[in-house]
Amino acid sequence: MQETTTLDSLQRPLRDLRVSVTDRCNFRCTYCMPKEVFGRDYVFLRRDQILSFEEIARLARIAVGLGVRKVRLTGGEPLLRRDFEKLVAMLAAIDGLDDLAMTTNGALLAPEAGILKAAGLDRVTVSLDSLDDATFKAMNDVDFPVGRVLEAIDAAAAAGLTPVKVDMVVKRGVNDASVLAMADYFRHSGHVLRLIEYMDVGASNGWRLADVVPAAELVAQIDAAWPIEPVAPAYYGEVAERYRYRDGAGELGIIASVSAPFCGACTRARLSADGELFTCLFAGRGHDLRALLRNGADDEAISAHLRTIWSARTDRYSELRSADTIGLEKVEMSRIGG
C-alpha cells in the first residue's frame, strides 16, 4: 500500500485508531466506571445504536487509506462483544494495517487468547492495578480476584499475543503502595509493566490533582529498588516513556499525561461504539460517522470527511490542563476506551 500521511493543524500525523466495540464492562473500576454513576439503572447503548463489525471494518479500512497503521480494540470490555474474534479477523485482513491490538481487563481473556491469536490479533494490553487482592477488588469493585487476571496474562503469552503489556493506573492513597510489588513481579517476565498517572478523563471519577502520583516520583521509587535507564521511543507518538532495568530484567513504561504531557506527538483518533470519532481522549464532543455509514455515503465521501476532521484538529488538552480546564465537558473513558 502506498504510504499516506494525513496531518492535523499542528502537523501531527494520523497513525493510530482506537476502536471501542462496546460501552459495557463487567468491572466498575472507580477511576473509570464508578458504581455511583454506572449503576443498575444506567442506560447503555442499544444494539442498533452500536456499529456492526462490518461498519467498524469499513471505517478502519478507510482510515488505513489516510495513514492509520495501528488499530487497538477497546471498550468498555471488548470481550463482552459476542463473536468478537470475527471482527478481529475482518480487521486483520485489511491491507496496510501493521498492528492489531486489544486492551482488556482480562476477566474473559484466558479461554479466548488462542482463538484471538488465530483470528489475527497481534498483541494485548491487560489492565491490573495491584497484586494485592483486597486493593484490586476494591478498585474493580466487583470482587474480581488478581489470580484470574494473572492466569489471563499467562494465557495471552502462551498464545503468542506478545509482548503483553500490563497497565496499572496509580492513584495516591489507593494503590500506590503496590507499585514496587508489581514491578518486582513483572521483572524477568517478558511482559512490560506500564505505570499510568491517574487522569481526569470524563466527569464521573472525582479526579483531583492531589490523587496523582507524578511520573518522576514513580521513576525514583523504581530506580531506588532496581536501577533503570531511559530507552529511546520505539516509534513517533509512543505514549509511554520507556525504561529498562540495568540488570537486564526487561522494560518498564511510564505514561505521564498529567505531569509530562505528550500532546505534541499524539497520533491517535478514537471511535466510540456508537460511531462517534473523537480526536482527543479529553474531547467534549465527537463527530458522527454512523450517520454517514447508514445514510449511504460512499468510501470517498467518508474518507474526505475523516481527512477534514483530522486536518482541523487542534487538541492539546493535557498541555493546557489548569484551573481553566476543570469542569469542562469531557467524554467518559468507558465510551472511547482510554
Chunk the chain into consecutive blocks of 10 residues (it has 338) and report each block's average pLDDT, rounded to whole numbers: 81 96 95 90 96 98 98 97 98 98 98 98 98 97 98 98 96 96 98 91 65 94 98 87 97 88 87 95 88 97 98 80 54 66
Tell me if 3 is assigned to some domain: no
CA–CA gap between residue 71 and residue 239 (Å, rounded): 15
Q: Which amino acid is at 173?
A: G
Query: Are 169 and 207 in contact, with CB atoms under 8 Å apart?
Result: no
Query: Are 294 and 58 in contact, with CB atoms under 8 Å apart?
Result: no
Q: Which residues contact 102 (CB under 8 A, 6 or more apart)?
A: 72, 73, 74, 78, 88, 116, 121, 123, 124, 125
Confidence (pLDDT) at 100: 98
Confidence (pLDDT) at 203: 57
**Domain CATH code at residue 153:** 3.20.20.70
Query: Are 213 and 174 in contact, with CB atoms under 8 Å apart?
Result: no
Confidence (pLDDT) at 328: 56
Tell me if 7 is assigned to some domain: no
pTM, to two decimals: 0.93
DSSP string, 244-256: EETTS--EEEEE-
Tell me if 301 is assigned to some domain: yes
Task: Name the 3-class secondary structure at 166.
Answer: strand
Q: Which residues contact 120 (CB under 8 A, 6 or more apart)?
A: 88, 89, 91, 92, 93, 100
Tell me if 324 is assigned to some domain: yes
- H/E run at residue 213: none
Peptide bond into 253 cis (omega under 30): no
Tell me if 4 is assigned to some domain: no
**Quick one: cell of 125?**
494490553
Going from the C-alpha of 111 to that of each of 8, 42, 151, 153, 310, the distances in angstroms are 41, 29, 10, 11, 38
Residue 194's beta-bridge partner residues?
167, 253
Angle between helices 133-140 and 146-159 (to 10 degrees): 90
**Quick one: cell of 258?**
498529567
Task: Name the 3-class secondary structure at 277.
Answer: strand
Task: Name the 3-class secondary structure at 106.
Answer: coil
**Quick one: cell of 95?**
491491507
Per DSSP, 81 falls in state: S
Query: Are 266 and 12 in contact, with CB atoms under 8 Å apart?
Result: yes
- Alpha helices of the chain — where are they, by DSSP H? 53-65, 84-92, 113-119, 133-140, 146-159, 179-186, 215-225, 290-294, 299-311, 317-320, 333-336
Tell me if 119 is assigned to some domain: yes
Tell me if 75 is assigned to some domain: yes
> How many domains does the structure of the chain reveal?
1
Tell me if 245 is assigned to some domain: yes
Q: Give the domain extent around 156.
A: 16-336
